A and B are shown apart, each in its own frame.
Chain A
Amino acid sequence: EAGVAQSPRYKIIEKRQSVAFWCNPISGHATLYWYQQILGQGPKLLIQFQNNGVVDDSQLPKDRFSAERLKGVDSTLKIQPAKLEDSAVYLCASSEGGGSPLHFGNGTRLTVT
């Protein structure tokens, strides 16, 4: 089966600019996750979707981050405006739910200068 697709792989922007990441999950996976992984740390959940509804966005900095999953398939994560501390790898994952494991994309490495 095709894996989780993410784009772009790398992005460099200046602070206060905006940026968007795209994710296409594995076909049929109802649950989609966006994680932020700062260098040297474990992934931190930003937002979790079940189909096109938000299940958990408690750690999403909503003043600058937004995410949507229109039609319950692919998803975009946006940062506007970016700060230096947003430099990280942004990982998208999907799963069938329940006890099923998460399947991760290769991530987008964001550098904010």
Chain B
Amino acid sequence: AQSVAQPEDQVNVAEGNPLTVKCTYSVSGNPYLFWYVQYPNRGLQFLLKYITGDNLVKGSYGFEAEFNKSQTSFHLKKPSALVSDSALYFCAVRPLGSSASKIIFGSGTRLSIRP
């Protein structure tokens, strides 16, 4: 069965410092991997995705994520955090090759950037 784990409920970072939000996954075969961000009282917004190719994926708002097949991880990163990055972040996974497969979301990580 496929699953996604976000081991940290909350990540606190000072503005201007690099940030990492962790995600590990379990899926049969190769995965589609996604990161979404959720602001208060809003739906989830797509940040970036990995399907195939370069392990480092760049997305919206200066975020990037690194796919590591051996560690089954897809950590979200940003070189320099902004206060406006404070939000709830979700990692999601779906097995490659089937649009009918279920997309599973992690439990979320609350990112707090202090000025």
Contact = CB atoms under 8 A, between A and B. Distances in A.
Interface of A: 4, 31, 33, 35, 40-45, 48, 50, 55-56, 91, 93, 97-99, 101-107, 109
Contact of A43 (B32, B44, B96, B99): B44
Contacts of A48: 100, 102
Which residue of A91, A103, A104, A109 has the most chain B CB atoms within 10 A of its CB atom?
A104
A43 B105 contact: yes
Given A101-B34, A106-B41, A31 B46 contact: no
Interface of B: 4, 32, 34, 36, 41-46, 49, 51, 90, 96, 99-100, 102-108
Contacts of B44: 43, 91, 93, 102, 104
Given A41-B107, A43-B90, A43-B105, A97 B43 contact: no
A107 B43 contact: yes
Nearest to A33: B103
